[in-house]
Amino acid sequence: MRKSLLVGSLAVCSVFLLSSSVLAADNWLGTWKLNTAKSKYSPGPAPKSLTLKFEASGDAITLTSDEVNADGQPTHGSYTSNFDAKDVPWQGNPDADMACPKRIDANHYSNVWKKDGKATINAKAAVSKDGKTLTVTLTGKNAKGEAVNNTSVYDRQ
């Protein structure tokens, strides 16, 4: 009886450690602040500030964003995903109501933004080799129908 309890406990711990190590391997986890001097926005203008926070949330990752737009208006957005290319609701993004993020490897993910069932923007994210910089490129069309070609550079906090 004690042996089977020990084996069961070890199995549960192994599964927990394995799932935790997969999330821990995602180098975009953490808090990132937009470096406006290194970023390019088309159409502009760039936001005054933007902070992204990626947190492990059970087996998933929750992204929260806090922005002060060019007009000085604050916005807040979030979604929770397994980064498995499945649509999840995205709250607070004027250009998307669904996110479809997909983990490529520990330093890269892609995300198809969707609004009313239609793909609007393709995002590609890459963490630098030293882990200090996150670069996100956005291409597509925003909610106003304008062509988007942005490169946002974030510094790890």
**DSSP state at residue 65:** E
Q: What is the DSSP letter of 116?
A: T
| CB atoms near residue 140 (< 10 Å) | 18
* Tens-place pLDDT, residues 107-122: 999 999 999 999 999 9
pLDDT of residue 25: 81
Tens digits of residue pLDDT in 12-31: 444 443 344 344 589 999 99
CA pair distance 10, 46, nearest whole angstrom: 50
Q: Are 37 and 46 in contact (CB under 8 A)?
A: no
The verdict on domain 2-156 having CATH code 3.40.190.10 is: no
Burial of 116 per CB tally in 10 Å (0-12, 13-18, 19+): exposed
pTM exceeding 0.75: yes
Mean per-residue pLDDT, 144-155: 97
Q: Which residue type, as a one-letter code, is found at position 127?
A: V
Q: What are phi and psi of 87, to 5 degrees?
A: -65, 135
Cα separation, 103 vs 147, whole angstroms: 25
- Per-residue pLDDT, averaged over 72-79, amounts to 97
Break the chain into its structural domains and give their ranges.
Answer: 2-156
- Phi, psi (rounded to 5 degrees) for 14: -65, -45
